[in-house]
Amino acid sequence: PLVSMTEMLNKAKDGGYAVGQFNLNNLEFTQAILMAAEEEKSPVILGVSEGAARYMSGFTTVVSMVKGLMHDLNITVPVAIHLDHGSSYDKCKEAIDAGFTSVMIDASHDPFDVNIETTKKVVEYAHSKGVSVEAELGVVGGQEDDVVAEGVIYADPEECKTLVKETGIDCLAPALGSVHGPYKGEPNLGFKEMEEIGAATGVPLVLHGGTGIPTKDIQKAISFGTAKINVNTENQIASAKAVRETLAAKTEEYDPRKYLGPARDAIKTTVQGKMREFGSSNQA
């Protein structure tokens, strides 16, 4: 069923595992992620950035595609459609009105009081529709679509406590050294702050920039209250590699199904591996 993130993340936090958010880019990504979740008996969050939604023609198309696939693929595990890095109240409302079951309001670039005010407004509207809300503090490094960062700023534990208390968000993404896209060298995550923020806020924490984080750090993050881990780049790399290899081996090939099919298989395998690593397999 299509659900919000609230129950799946609270269950994950209590159970000591994390639910993966895997970003959609097109039909094949959506098929692969849903099939992986069903096969793993895992809850799953479908992440949709504003850029990816534009590419797929809009929020309504995304929701219709997901609903259609859930029906045709007989998906029985809990699935959330989540706006990733929502840039404004209006964008969040637009996604909710189109049928998204969860939104992230990313006002982390605004002054703290503005972030609180915007987030509060989103929570009010979202909760009235049974939709969950994620908010962010600090700055995740790297780039993902429209979200570009010059450097990395660690979230402040005091501000995290205030934000959660004032807004009633369902989960919090404190930026603690993670990066969108590949890491240059080993990631250096602020586990001390993560532990403090997890304990002080009591809400499930979200780790952005899941691509390239070693398993030992994933396990540590989960032990400090991380219940949602976002992965996008790793699936993009796996699918691009499959397309390159297929077309290099068959230079006369032109049927998209012949090279996008292998891309879909590669995404599915990658997602299943993540679900096992995050411990969400067999938790649906």
- Number of other CB atoms surrounding residue 156 within 10 Å: 16
Contact flag: residue 174 with ligand G3H (CB under 6 A): no
State yes or no: residue 25 binds ligand G3H (CB under 6 A). no
| Residue whose structure tokens are 């990631």 | 187
User: Does residue 274 interact with Zn ion by CB under 5 A?
Assistant: no
The amino acid that residue 206 corresponds to is: V
Contact map string, positions 33 to 62, toward ligand G3H, x by CB under 6 A? --------------x---------------
Q: Measured from the CB atom, is 208 or 264 closer to ligand G3H?
A: 208
Task: State which residue, 1 or 272, has the beta carbon closest to ligand G3H.
Answer: 272
Q: Cα separation of 107 and 82, whole Å?
A: 16
Instruction: Report the residue from 11, 120, 208, 264 that binds Zn ion according to the rule CB under 5 A.
Output: 208
CA gyration radius, the chain: 18
Is residue 180 within the footprint of ligand G3H (CB under 6 A)? yes
Look up residue 72 and give its two tokens: 């045709």
The two tokens of residue 21 are 């958010």
Residues 59-98 that bind ligand G3H (CB under 6 A): 84-85
For the bound state, the minimum distance from the C-beta of residue 279 to ligand G3H, rounded and expressed in Å, comes to: 18
* Contact positions with ligand G3H (CB under 6 A) in 192-221: 208-211
Q: Which is nearer to ligand G3H, 50 or 234 (CB)?
A: 234
CA dist 51 and 83 (Å) reads 11
Nearer to ligand G3H, 115 or 178 (CB): 178
For residue 84, indicate whether it is catalytic. yes
27-40 vs 256-278: helix crossing angle, rounded to 10: 40
SS3 44: strand
Q: Angle, to 10 degrees, between the axis of helix 27-40 and the axis of helix 233-249?
A: 110
Which are the catalytic amino acids? 84
Q: Report the interface residues with Zn ion, using CB under 5 A.
A: 208
